[in-house]
Structure formats: C-alpha cells, structure tokens
Amino acid sequence: MTETRITINGSEVTTALDERTSLLDFLRDHVGLTGSKKGCNQGACGACTVLVDGERINSCLALAVQYDGRSITTVEGLERDGELHRLQAAFIEHDGFQCGYCTPGQLCSAIGMAGEAERGVPSNVTADIGERVVTLDRNELRERMSGNLCRCGAYNGIIDAIEETFVTAVAR
C-alpha cells in the first residue's frame, strides 16, 4: 500500500492505495465519483477520460499512485457554482448525446484537446506542424476526438457542440 495524495476537483484526497489500483477505479470505487465511465478498460474507447493538470488521459490505463501530488478534474468538476461549463451547455443545445455513457469522457477530452491546439500540438491532419497555434476546423476536431467513441453515433452533435464552444467562440 502507498499513501497517495491527489487533488480531485479542488479537494485533496489522501488515502493508502494498493499500487495496482487504476486511476479510474480509484475515482469511481474509492472516491465515489462515478461520472468517469468504464467502457473498455483497455484504452480503446475514451469513456474514462479525465484531465490531469489540464491534460487529458485515459484513467483506465493509469495507476492512481502515479498521480500523487497531481490535480485531477473529472466531469463532476466542470460546473462552477451550479453553472454548467459552456461545453456542457453546448452538448445539450446540439443534442451531443443519446444514452450519455460516453459524454463525461467526450467533455473532458474536448477541453484537453482545445488546450493542446492552443499550445500548437499537431494532429495527424495538421497541414503545417510548425504552427504555434493550430487552427481547429471540423477535420481537426474529428481527428483529435477520434479516441472517444460514441456507440449511439451522436458524433455530429458532439462536433457541433465542440465547434461552437472552442472554434466559433474564438472566431467571434
């Protein structure tokens, strides 16, 4: 067992953990935050995506003890003072979900993705990998969100919501 201190959605959690505990199991089974979903448990679906110090990761592939001293944001931490994050509101507006199982991962992933583009991190479809800030278009959005699967096929609404939040808003 290893004493582990992780800040989750602004609150510090300290606990002794079996080193084999995944970050996803820690969040769901130890902390009780069941928003992050276990789809495949092997890094293939993105349902478990959370933000670690602003960067997106698949929490099913991470060991919780690796994140000692780090700050995690889950879907439960996206709202502020009872107000939905603007991306959450856009998902509702654009029908970006059906069953909702993939939605927490889609939301966290999209927020992390927007940060990557701002930092100039290229994707497989970025024409100029020397760009300091990558311009997001629908092609970029689809490529960058391709690690998050939606079994309901709500992709058009998901991309519309992300585009409105992170592309249209920036262009205004």
- The contact set with ligand FES (CB under 6 A) reads 38-41, 43-48, 58, 60, 97-103, 150-152, 154
Q: Report in angstroms how near the CB of residue 6 gets to ligand FES at its nearest.
A: 18
CA distances from 62 to 65, 117, 124, 149 (A): 9, 23, 24, 19
Q: 84-96 as b/e, with b when 16 or more CB fall inside 10 Å?
A: ebebbebbeebeb
Closest to ligand FES by CB, 97 or 166 = 97
Answer whether 47's CB lies under 8 Å from 39's CB: yes
Q: Report which of 120, 161, 169 is spatially closest to residue 141, judged by C-alpha positions.
A: 161
| 147, burial (CB in 10 Å: exposed 0-12, middle 13-18, buried 19+) | middle
Q: Report in angstroms how near the CB of residue 139 gets to ligand FES at its nearest.
A: 21
Closest to ligand FES by CB, 97 or 126 = 97
Closest to ligand FES by CB, 46 or 77 = 46
Q: Report in angstroms how near the CB of residue 148 gets to ligand FES at its nearest.
A: 9
Q: Report in angstroms how near the CB of residue 170 gets to ligand FES at its nearest.
A: 25
Q: Report in angstroms how near the CB of residue 165 gets to ligand FES at its nearest.
A: 17
| 142, burial (CB in 10 Å: exposed 0-12, middle 13-18, buried 19+) | middle
Provide φ and ψ at 137, rounded to 5°. Answer: -120, 180
Closest to ligand FES by CB, 50 or 134 = 50
Closest to ligand FES by CB, 5 or 151 = 151
